């Protein structure tokens, strides 16, 4: 990203598309998440459509594949203390998976899926444990 126009675009878009792409690239490069801007979960997942996110997670069989790799219900793959350390990084990871798996999710669908994972697993910025039961 040496093109100043591209950088300005990414910065101006805040945590939306620009950061998601940047986050995926940072992830691919193996660099620390600390570089990502510290947007709060409320900002990143503002207006998220949670029922839509739940449906997309079911429809795309996210848990089936994760369960094959991790055993159990697959939720052990979500490691809040691991590589994904911020809400922006979480959303970026969902965006990256969507692209890699050719899911073709719209930006608001990526946000919805990320918001469900935030609520049920990652809980950035929340002190209480998840109260919802998994489907
Ligand atoms: C074809 C198999 C497969 C499918 C389908 C899949 N994933 Fe994954 N996912 C993986 C694997 C494998 C990893 C772990 C990669 C690693 O740890 O190196 C992973 C990791 C993740 C992580 C990061 C977990 C962490 O905290 O490090 C997230 C978030 C994630 N997946 C979300 C999703 C979502 C959302 C969907 C459905 C829209 C999905 N995945 C569908 C295989 C899959």
User: Which residues lie below 8 Å from residue 99, measured CB to CB, with a gap of 6+?
Assistant: 24
**CA neighbor of 90 nearest in space, from 64, 49, 125:** 125
| Overall number of domains in the chain | 1
Q: Using CA atoms in the order 79, 84, 87, 92, what is the torsion angle rounded to 10 degrees?
A: -120
CB-ligand 1 contact for 30 (6 Å cutoff): no
Mean pLDDT for the chain? 78
Neighbour-count burial for 1-26, b at 16+ CB within 10 Å, e otherwise: eeeeeeeeebeeeebeebbbbbbbeb
- Domain assignment present for residue 51? The answer is yes
Q: How far apart are CA 5 and CA 75, in angstroms?
A: 40
- CB of residue 101 inside a 6 A radius of ligand 1: yes
The predicted pLDDT at position 81 comes to 81
Is residue 11 in a domain? yes
> Mutate which of 27, 58, 61, 62 to test ligand 1's pocket (most atoms within 8 Å of Cβ)?
62
Domain with 16, as residue range(s), is 4-122
pLDDT at residue 48 is higher than 60: yes
Kindly state whether residue 127 falls inside one of the protein's structural domains.
Answer: no
Residue 23 Cβ contacting ligand 1 at under 6 Å = no
Mean pLDDT highest for which of 11-15, 65-69, 80-84? 65-69
Report the alpha-carbon distance of residue 35 to residue 39 in Å, rounded: 12
What's the mean pLDDT in 24-38? 47
The whole-number average pLDDT for the span 5-13 is 46
Q: Rounded to two decimals, what is the model's pTM?
A: 0.74
Q: How many CB atoms lie under 10 A from the CB of residue 60? A: 17
Residue 135 belongs to some domain of the structure? no
- What tokens appear for 93 in the block? 């990871």
Residue 133 lies in a domain: no
Q: Of all residues in the chain, what percent carry a pLDDT higher than 90?
A: 59
Cα-to-centroid distance, 44 and ligand 1 (Å): 19
Does residue 14 sit within a domain? yes
Residue identifier of the C-alpha nearest atom 18 of ligand 1 = 77
Query: Residue whose CA is closest, atom 14 of ligand 1?
Result: 77
């Amino acid at each position: 990203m040496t093109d100043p126009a591209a950088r300005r675009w990414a910065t101006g878009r805040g945590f939306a598309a620009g950061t998601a792409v940047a986050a995926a690239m940072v992830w691919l490069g193996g660099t620390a998440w600390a570089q990502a801007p510290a947007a709060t979960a409320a900002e990143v997942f503002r207006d998220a459509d949670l029922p839509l996110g739940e449906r997309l997670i079911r429809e795309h069989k996210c848990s089936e594949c994760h369960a094959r790799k991790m055993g159990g219900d697959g939720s052990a793959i979500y490691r809040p203390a691991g590589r994904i350390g911020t809400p922006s990084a979480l959303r970026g990871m969902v965006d990256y998976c969507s692209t890699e798996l050719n899911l073709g999710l719209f930006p608001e669908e990526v946000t919805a899926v990320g918001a469900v994972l935030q609520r049920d697993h990652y809980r950035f910025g929340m002190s209480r444990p998840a109260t919802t039961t998994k489907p």
